[in-house]
Chains A and B, each alone.
Chain A
């Protein structure tokens, strides 16, 4: 049923037409500005300024066998002490020894085609963890839980709306040096937003004739870069158009009560681009929870969902770049893992959308932290606010 509504709204977005979808959110100073501009609060728009994988950090007890090793570290481990010292002193030798880093033939690329390569193993977090998860009522909890398991297809289908959405992806990446709080992933977490590679917009509109806080929520990719202020952060109140591709118009029903927005389950597709990456993020049965700050008009919270494994393989293992080639191998080496190791690990820890035929799960739970500032979300040829 909910997918039917989503599709209907998506089609509305595709075929309809106008201008301002939604505008900046409420909040004292911000609400004053909006009121001064002659706008009402029936609809609000936001620009996502932070969109980060939740990576709580791992200790020795989480990774008893240590962190995973990338291609370079694995190669160095195979050398005699003398040779290793020579290679460590001249990194070009390692680069040459492990070439090619970019493959012309995807079939030969362990990151573009990891399933064709044997599993070299990957350390993952297997012990019970207390970390943020999204509960069925849309609240967040930090109960200590063991790794989620891939349920049977009928169980998953029947219980998806009663399940806590875990963050199994952290279990996969928890023993990777680059994914620690001080690692590369955190250092570049919002760079894609700041450099204009990845713009995500959000609209929240009160549903007509509804007095119970029911809202329609839209999440859109935009091809327009954010404007960064002199403080190095995206500026609020930008007017940004949603991408024309209906594929990136995601809609959901939700509730806005006591300043907290929670959506029902929806499928999310957004452009995922950064530096060399040119891909998309596809989350299934996702939910958004945002707390709206009445003082600033800003919003912060979480997006939880199940990352489709094919999408994950393209965006986070192959790392399809803008030339059509894979940047997966240098990325894996920089972070400290191997592509086949990660590929098999995500499949092993996948906990969503089991295949009816094989019983293997096709998605893995993941959690993003989200921050947003008020913005004016402009429709791409739409007729009415969603």
Chain B
């Protein structure tokens, strides 16, 4: 923004829009109104904010500011977004980002790309240009057309800037910034309306449906075609909805969306916090950490989207993308300068998703592996099971007594011998111990402190050995595909009503199995399901 004197204009509008912070995020319950009652608000995650801005204004627009941390709930950031709010300091950051974006969009260098006409020639023409700009970008940012009041308030902002000596472009910058700090942009707000086909019933508005669909499959704001479909009511029609879902699933942007799902599910947002002992694991550089995540995301995209393969086979897949950075972790030659596929042989101990360095590094300590953390991760992420947290009165003196043992299996003996520990650790350690041939950053080893590593273990009564054995056991575990259905459903932000959830999940599980456990089919089934958009009433309240 060019002048500080305009700042009060923005602050005035922000406070007006923010309603003194009375908006609260989350699954909200409201009395149904005649029209458009709010039923849910999801704060955009960092990646959704970035992707939305890039899609609306182009990926050359830089975002300057620090995002409030995303909030993970029930193992997903997507679920946590329904519970996240904006703190005062977080709002300051959003405001800073908004001003930065607006400056870039309406600065001299780029404004021609965004303005349909050049304001300022004649007064009438100027007013039209301002309205056109605000209407177009207001709809893109709010994911629905602006109301008359919303448009009028932005026009007032422009007018105030003009009154204080600014020009039209300055005014538009402030108006655009006000759109970017509005809760209507920062939150995906779902609203319901009376369902004309079922008097007395409510349904999600078409624009809410469009946004839910777009953020689910693309992790970004709806494109013009989807908004147009919403505008003409096509999303309330089964054929219209199916057509849009088909289009979204066929788009290359599906990969972007699914990368977000995978990263969320595998908790890659915690990777920046991972630190490793520099002397023990010199290979764990920031570049390698980045490549580890990319390898896993590429594996999932290749297996589940490109090859449209059976989800369960992910746990036994022998090939994985490899680049030269990772070649140093896996101790394999990489001829290509970029990414290439590497096939691990039958004799290799490595195979399947769980033997990838990203997961092995993420679920380990700074100076060692961790069978417990790895076992916990498998239980929570691939079996959707809850393992209670450790008791507050854990006696670590016993832990120290076992610290002198050479192998993790020996060191974890206490977990099995102490009744207070065994209850939970027997759920985790026998899984994680099968991955012990991979150290704290996933490098292969056969010995720990000079002693051979025993990789026998078990999962829910099935005994096996090593990472490949674990992969095989998971690929045949009935809970594994059900867990993915559950995870994808929760990620998509489906209804919270227990009865609807139960019905939909049952149906999705059946269809997922019938499809041969194909993710694309699962995505489609969720996206076209009527239950996915269902709004339930409890008494006279919308859930």
Listed in ascending order, the chain A residues whose CB lies under 8 Å from chain B are: 19-20, 23-24, 28-30, 32-39, 227, 229-231, 233, 235-239, 374, 376, 378
Contact = CB atoms under 8 A, between A and B. Distances in A.
B374 interface: no
Contacts of B348: 36-38
Contacts of A233: 282
B148 interface: no
A378 B333 CA distance: 8
B445 A238 contact: no
A6 B171 CA distance: 77
A238 B334 CA distance: 8
10 contacts: A23-B333, A28-B447, A33-B330, A33-B444, A34-B331, A36-B347, A37-B333, A37-B344, A239-B333, A376-B333
A233 B276 CA distance: 16
A376 B330 CA distance: 12
A32 B330 CA distance: 11
A293 to B, nearest CB: 15
List 9 tightest A-B contacts by C-beta distance, closest first: A229-B282, A33-B331, A38-B345, A376-B333, A230-B278, A231-B282, A37-B332, A237-B328, A32-B446
A378 B332 CA distance: 12
B285 A229 contact: yes
B281 A29 contact: no
Is the contact region of chain B dominated by helix, strand, or loop, or is it mixed?
loop
A8 B281 CA distance: 42
A32 B446 CA distance: 7
Interface residues of B, number: 30
A24 B373 CA distance: 32
B327 A35 contact: no
B283 A229 contact: yes
A339 to B, nearest CB: 40
A20 B334 CA distance: 9
A235 B444 CA distance: 15
Interface string B279-295: 10111110000000000
Contacts of A236: 328, 331
Nearest to B285: A230
Interface string B343-379: 0110111100000000000000000000000000000
A38 B327 contact: no
Contact of B335 (A20, A37, A39, A231): A20
A229 to B, nearest CB: 3
A24 B281 contact: no
A27 B473 CA distance: 32
Contacts of A230: 276, 278-279, 281-285
Contact of B334 (A30, A38, A374, A376): A376
B328 A235 contact: yes
Contacts of B332: 37, 39, 237, 376
Given A36-B349, A36-B350, A235-B328, A29 B333 contact: no
A24 B331 contact: yes
Contacts, number: 86
Nearest to B324: A239
B443 interface: yes
Nearest to B286: A230
Contacts of B283: 229-230, 235
B444 A36 contact: yes
A237 to B, nearest CB: 4
Nearest to B439: A29
B325 interface: yes
Nearest to B446: A32
B278 A231 contact: yes
Interface string B257-300: 00000000000000000001011011111000000000000000
Contacts of A37: 330-333, 344, 348
Nearest to A236: B328
B324 A30 contact: no
Contact of B327 (A28, A36, A238): A238
A33 B327 CA distance: 11
Q: Which of A28, A34, A236, A239 has the most CB of B within 10 A?
A: A239
Given A29-B445, A32-B446, A36-B349, A235 B282 contact: yes
A23 B335 CA distance: 12
A229 B283 CA distance: 5
Interface string B301-342: 000000000000000000000001101111111110000000
Contacts of B276: 230
Nearest to B443: A33
B328 A238 contact: yes
Contacts of B443: 33
A35 B345 CA distance: 10
B347 A19 contact: no
Nearest to A377: B333
Given A38-B344, A229-B282, A235-B283, A30 B328 contact: no
Contacts of B345: 38
